[in-house]
Amino acid sequence: MSDTTEISVRELRKALADTLNGVTVRGRIVYVTNNGRRIAAIVPVPAAEQIEQARG
């Protein structure tokens, strides 16, 4: 099972490469927050492809 974490937009700017590595290598789902509110998610490609297929 993949783990999840949250990162602010400001933190993401500083740690983009490390964040993407965590998503790619460890299958981590990262929620991007702005003012404490989730605004986006960075997910592994297989997860995104499953979502696309489910939408038809």
**What pTM did the predictor assign?**
0.86
The partner residues of 41 in beta bridges, in order of sequence, read 31
pLDDT in tens, the chain (56 residues): 457 899 999 999 999 999 999 999 999 999 999 999 999 999 999 999 999 999 98
Residue 29 burial by Cβ neighbours in a 10 Å radius (0-12, 13-18, 19+) = middle
User: What pLDDT was estimated at residue 3?
Assistant: 79
H/E run at residue 34 = strand 29-34
**Neighbour count for residue 27 (Cβ, 10 Å):** 14
Q: Which domains are present in the chain?
A: 4-55 (3.40.1620.10)
